[in-house]
Amino acid sequence: MPTYQFALLLTSAYLLGSIPTSYIAGRLIKGIDIRRYGSGSASSTNVWHSVSRKAMVAVVIADMLKGLIPVAIASHLLNFPVWAQGTLGLAAITGHSWSIFLGFSGGRGWATMIGFLLIFGRWELLTLSIVGLSIFALIKNSPLSMFLAIVSMPIASLALASYGIVGFDRGLILLCICLLILLKRILAERPVPRSELAKVLIYRLILDRDTRNRESWIYRKPNDLSQS
């Protein structure tokens, strides 16, 4: 594997991931900065609540391609090893979550991760989907379902590795991706009052918001965000 090819593709993966599709959708369709509405993140779910449900479909597809394209090139055209493919996926997800074009803000990285998994880890993607949909059917709580689903993904990969079905390096890469997405949830680009630090961090990790009240959170307006 030529080092220059890997370095070039790694940089390209981050820059491709950094393309702020949700932000662009908000500007083009409603003329708004989506980071000033709803959850405050440049994510496809915020497009759903704050911009347009039809636009969310296009944003999700574009975000998935940001994760799929680099690893497809590395896997099918350049025959990069697993660790290199995984690093490219991490770069694309990092770009989406901390976009250089948005001052290192961004979305949660879910759609980009799914696009990556379509090439890199289909069994783990199947596990994530089954766990997430099953839990959502039981508790009707999307953020909690997604939290449990993302945690199940590296566990499934390491279990497959223990039976020799996949390599342990794949499980370690997916563990890193799991931790990266959970880190984005916790940081969330918002300050936390010291008096409520523990409570808010738990809400962010489990519910992906700063409060228990979902409706008041996802439909916030600029004035609400300035007071939060």
Q: Output the CA angle 81-87-93, nearest 5 degrees.
A: 140
pLDDT in tens, 96-142: 999 999 999 999 999 999 999 999 999 999 999 999 999 999 988 88
Rounded to two decimals, the pTM is 0.91
Number of domains in the chain: 1
Q: Enter the tokens of residue 41.
A: 């993140």
* Residue 228 pLDDT greater than 60, yes or no: no
Q: Which domain holds residue 34?
A: 3-227
Worst-scoring range by mean pLDDT, 46-50, 83-87, 189-193? 189-193
CA-nearest of 153, 38, 12, 3 to 95 is 12
Q: Is 198 or 221 the better-scoring residue by pLDDT? A: 198
Worst-scoring range by mean pLDDT, 22-26, 81-85, 128-132, 192-196? 192-196
Q: Enter the tokens of residue 61.
A: 């597809």
Distance CA 67, CA 160 (A): 23
Measure Cα distances from 198 to 34, 44, 211 in Å: 27, 27, 12
Average pLDDT, the chain: 91
Angle between helices 110-120 and 82-97 (to 10 degrees): 170
Distance CA 59, CA 90 (A): 20
Q: What percent of the chain has pLDDT over 90?
A: 68
pLDDT at 226: 52
Distance CA 13, CA 126 (A): 24
Ranges of beta strands (E only) in the chain are none
